[in-house]
Amino acid sequence: MENKDFNPIIEAVVSIRNYATVASSNWSNIKKYGSVISNNIEKAYAIINNYSSEDTKKSWIDEMLKYANNLSQLQEIMNAAIHKIKNKKADRIFEDWNEYPKYVIAIEKNYSTLKNLGFKSAPENEKENWQKLWDEIITIHLRIKNEAEACSIQLKLIEDYKIEDIDELTDTILKHIPLTYSIKEANKYEEEYLEAYKAIKKEASQKKNLWDRFLDILAGGVQQTPAQRVMMQRWVDGEKGELH
């Protein structure tokens, strides 16, 4: 999203919605998403196996070994974090989680390499199929990143607040938030999003310290550019100032 089109309120509401919907699902979607990616990679390998040179096949296998290692590390980190969230354990909560971004970046590089290997060797009648497979892989990968972002928010909140208060905040968000619009559609429905935010803010700010902390976490979102982070933080600082 370009900075000139960046609306901190809409960005915040969409992030809030993502957090609440993922948290309320009890982190149940990650395995399902992983299975879709695994199935698509198997289909991609079938194309590689049918049409590629031996050198390309070897390159694919070498890259898949790197991918498998990165994926295993990432799964271990995610599972440990979700276990702590489900069991309401705040002890040493970020011990492993701080390694998470490193493995996400590594996996994205694996995907790029694997996609390029096949695109160069696939015949014309398979290129469209190849592109569709990887479009779906990247889409699902972004959903997993949303789940992980929500997981990160939950971990940061658990450090300082009672799980009952965090659950209450999640319920408040779900009660008011529009669930059917993506970030691309959000600008079309800006008025509805603003009304939702006002309703959430009014109810959630009764526990002001928790709400302030929640906004601060949103302002530091890992999927924002540095300039967008500055814009978000300025907006958050203004929001917090209104409540004093």
| pLDDT tens digits in sequence order for the chain, 244 residues long | 444 455 555 666 666 666 666 666 656 778 788 899 999 999 999 999 999 999 999 999 999 999 999 999 998 888 888 777 777 665 666 667 788 889 999 999 999 999 999 988 888 899 999 999 999 999 999 888 877 877 777 777 777 777 777 777 777 766 766 555 455 555 555 666 667 666 766 666 666 666 676 666 666 554 545 454 555 555 456 655 554 4
Break the chain into its structural domains and give their ranges. 3-242
pLDDT at 69: 97
C-alpha distances in angstroms, 243 versus 25, 180, 201, 212, 213?
Answer: 31, 30, 10, 9, 13
Rg (C-alpha) for the chain, rounded Å, is 20
Q: Does the CA dihedral 34-40-46-49 come out positive or negative?
A: negative
Tell if the pTM clears 0.85, that is, is over it. no
Which two three-digit tokens encode residue 7? 């609306």
